[in-house]
Amino acid sequence: MKLLGKDRTFFQLLQAQADAAFRAAQEFHALSQDFEHRADHARRIEEIEHEADDFTHQLANRTDATFVTPLDKEDLHKLSSALDDITDFVEAASGRIALYQLSVPRPDLPPLVSLLVDTVRATADAVNLLDNPKNRKAFHEALIRIHELENRSDKAFREALATLFNTPGNDAIMVIKWKEIYDRIEIATDKCEDVATVLESVVVKYA
């Protein structure tokens, strides 16, 4: 029996949200390696973010309009909100690169964004496993991978900040700009762990 029941809409919308987050992260990684076209990449990420907002609204409306939902309404809202937050913070980070007219990437940006892509991919994989909750081993492994990647991202984030703040001669305004970008990358990664926490709770609750 499917965890999300016979009505496939809830699962499909959650899957669409996870896919949007992954596409946004991939586009951000492309931006980090192609600063010459950073504005184009940022614009595509913004378009994906608008798509993700639409999926979020659709799921919220369907949840509110459905008397008996396949999962608790609170769980659906938490999961949907956390997935939407991932895309929002990816867009916030990439948008600031264009907004601040940063023309040269810092060397630690692509590795940070690459870790973000891996974490969002693992998160999307875990969401897809909601369609087959009996495969508890695969689900458990997916959640562990998200936590491991988030820990690696934390370490890379701290190292990037240390380099940013401690390199002699760094311009103070540039330090502020890059810290804002790094902060949003870190928050996007944290939101992946939030998704994992909700998924873990859901699987335990409905086992």
- Rounded Cα distance, 106 and 93, in Å: 14
Q: What is the mean pLDDT of residues 101-113?
A: 94
Q: Is 101 left (phi over 0), alpha (psi -120 to 50) or beta?
A: left
Res. 3: pLDDT tops 60? no
Mean pLDDT of all residues in 173-194: 96
* DSSP-assigned letter for residue 4: T
State the angle between helix axes of 109-128 and 73-99 in degrees (0 to 180), rounded to the nearest 10. 160
- Taking CA atoms, 126 is separated from 38, 107, 119, 168, 179, in Å, by 30, 30, 11, 43, 30
Q: Phi and psi (nearest 5°) for 26?
A: -60, -45
**Of 46, 119, 125, nearest to 88 (Cα)?**
46
Per-residue pLDDT, averaged over 80-98, amounts to 96
Mean pLDDT value across residues 165-169: 91
- Region class of 169: left (phi > 0), else alpha (psi between -120 and 50), else beta: left
Query: 33-80 pLDDT, tens per residue?
Result: 999 999 999 999 999 999 999 999 999 998 888 877 777 888 899 999
pLDDT score at 112 = 96
Query: Dihedral, CA atoms, 83, 85, 86, 89, nearest 10 degrees?
Result: 170
DSSP 3-state assignment of 34?
coil
**pLDDT range class, residue 5, cuts 50, 70, 90:** low
Q: Do residues 189 and 83 lie in contact, with contact meaning Cβ atoms separated by under 8 Å? A: no
Q: Which of 55, 19, 78 is nearest to 202 (CA)?
A: 78
Name the CATH topology of 9-205.
Methane Monooxygenase Hydroxylase; Chain G, domain 1 (1.20.58)
pTM of the model: 0.92
CB 21 within 8 A of CB 52: yes
pLDDT greater than 90 at residue 95: yes
